[in-house]
Amino acid sequence: MEIALEKSTETNASLKIKLSKSDYQPEVDKKLKDYGRRASIKGFRPGKVPTSLIQKMYGKSVLVEEINELLKNTVSNYIRDHKLQVVGDPLPDREQADAIDWDSQNEFEFNYNLGLASDFEVDFDALPPVPSYEIQAGETELNSTIEELKTRFSGQAHVEESAEGDMIYGELKQQAKEDGEPFATKTAFPTKQIAAEELPKFVGLKKGDTVTFDIQKTFVDEKARALATGLKGEEAANLEGEFTFTVDDITRSEPAEIGQEFFDKVLGKDVVETEDQFREKVLEVIKGNYGRESATLERLDIEQALLDNITIGLPDDFLKQWLLSTNEGSVTEAEVEEQYDAFARSVKLQLIKNKIASQNEINVTYEDVLNVTRGMVREQFGFYGDDESMNQSIDKIAQQYLMDEKGENYMKMYNRLSDDKVIELIKSKLTLEPRTVSVDEFKELVSTRQPV
């Protein structure tokens, strides 16, 4: 076997591989012999099928399979052994491969195009300070959050007269039709779905009142019409003409009242007993949420600092070709062009993080992944306490989750934990500048950031 790497530029190369018969034939013969032992062909006893017949039946397919496997391993091992910083996947020369005569050739040549990232160094001392935001959350945020919670946990009250936002229950009837039975049903009208110009007809109604209206003018959106009539989308779309609606009942959402029932719904049973305790707990949750948002922004700023201060060259044309090839039929050249800058940013960032992880021997073990997954299970299922039975249940759920999706869940958790460890190391090397900002100032900062 002969292997040669030829670099045309700093970021583009080709890997040429020449195979002779001695490279693949021993493994081909071994597989054909195994086929002969297992083949069941009419007219021959098991294990007694002539070698020439096995060769004729399976020879070419075994040869192609073995050479493809040999090439895959050879390319992969060469990249690993020579520490090539490959981006994308090697792209084989299809024209060259299609020209092979598998029936007569004994020696083969293959060519793979490689995309390489340029060499780069990570110098933490050259990176600028990164802001670390503390968001001021006080009475204004607390009061608005409590109002939102009161609306979210609102109750329903029966009222005498309808107003905008109410739910009106009653009987819907279609006016007489020339053919077939007119449509009629018991239903509920959410007034929020009624067209603005028709809404006055449904305000001020009382039990027993009847209103006449045009169904399509009143419920312009087909989904709203389907919701109001209980029909499927297509059936509701075909309804037209005048209808009557006789009111049976009217309900209105009323904000939850401050009290123990509300406290229990929001925070859990008996977590707090007074309004002061409730406000203190809600403010604690608000600050925790803003703390997580601040950490996310800090992470984005760190990643942007890495990209802005570490120069990496990429094989742009190669990567665009690779994206088209690997997503053949599902993306267009225009879409690749449109999305390429964001893709290139993510590639560069991952290269930087990989180098930091390698240089600092950052490793993630299965136990690390399992511990993080245990925490996720505790949070999602509300497991509290530390007794043996509960821990066993948590372990079982966590392990099952990591095995699901053919191991993809494990890799997601692994990559997340690895990324977290890299970010924590970077934070320990950088200068973080504390900054106190208001909620509005923080929202403005977030709006200007470009996700990496």
Tokens of 122: 């990570």
Q: What does the alpha-carbon distance between residue 385 and residue 10 come to, in Å, rounded to a whole number?
A: 57
**What integer best gives the mean pLDDT of the chain?**
90
What's the DSSP call for residue 364? -
How far separated are the first and last CA of the chain, in Å rounded? 43
The pLDDT of residue 100: 92
Distance of CA 295 to the CA centre of its chain: 20
* Contact predicate 442/135, CB 8 Å: yes
Name the most confidently modeled range: 26-40, 351-365, 394-408: 351-365
Q: What does the alpha-carbon distance between residue 373 and residue 403 come to, in Å, rounded to a whole number?
A: 12
Q: What does the alpha-carbon distance between residue 341 and residue 323 come to, in Å, rounded to a whole number?
A: 13
Listing DSSP states for 222-280 in one string gives HHHHHHHH---HHHHHH--SEEEEEEEEEEEEEPPPSSHHHHHHHH-TTS--SHHHHHH
If 0-12 CB within 10 Å is exposed, 13-18 middle and 19+ buried, where does residue 171 land?
middle
The pLDDT of residue 378: 83
Q: How confident is the model over 238-259, as pLDDT tens digits?
A: 888 999 999 999 999 989 999 9
Tokens of 328: 């053949």
Q: What does the alpha-carbon distance between residue 293 and residue 304 come to, in Å, rounded to a whole number?
A: 17
Q: Residue 396 CB: number of other CB atoms within 10 A?
A: 11
Tokens of 89: 């996947």
Q: How confident is the model over 193-241, as pLDDT tens digits?
A: 999 999 999 999 999 999 999 999 999 988 899 999 999 878 888 888 9
The domains found in the chain, sorted by start residue, are 2-116 (3.30.70.1050), 124-143+265-448 (1.10.3120), 155-254 (3.10.50)
Tokens of 107: 């020696």
* Contact predicate 16/6, CB 8 Å: yes
Q: How confident is the model over 297-339, as pLDDT tens digits?
A: 999 999 999 999 999 999 999 999 999 998 888 899 999 999 9
Instruction: Examine the pLDDT at 451 and tell me if it is beyond 60.
Output: no
Q: What does the alpha-carbon distance between residue 87 and residue 84 come to, in Å, rounded to a whole number?
A: 9
Instruction: Examine the pLDDT at 45 and tell me if it is beyond 80.
Output: no
pTM: 0.71
Q: At what angle do helices 275-309 and 333-359 cross, to 10 degrees?
A: 100
Mean pLDDT check: name the lowest of 144-153, 372-381, 384-393, 400-409: 384-393
Q: How confident is the model over 137-195, as pLDDT tens digits?
A: 889 999 999 999 998 888 889 999 999 999 999 999 998 776 778 899 999 999 999 99
The partner residues of 158 in beta bridges, in order of sequence, read 251
Q: What does the alpha-carbon distance between residue 449 and residue 135 come to, in Å, rounded to a whole number?
A: 17
The pLDDT of residue 384: 60
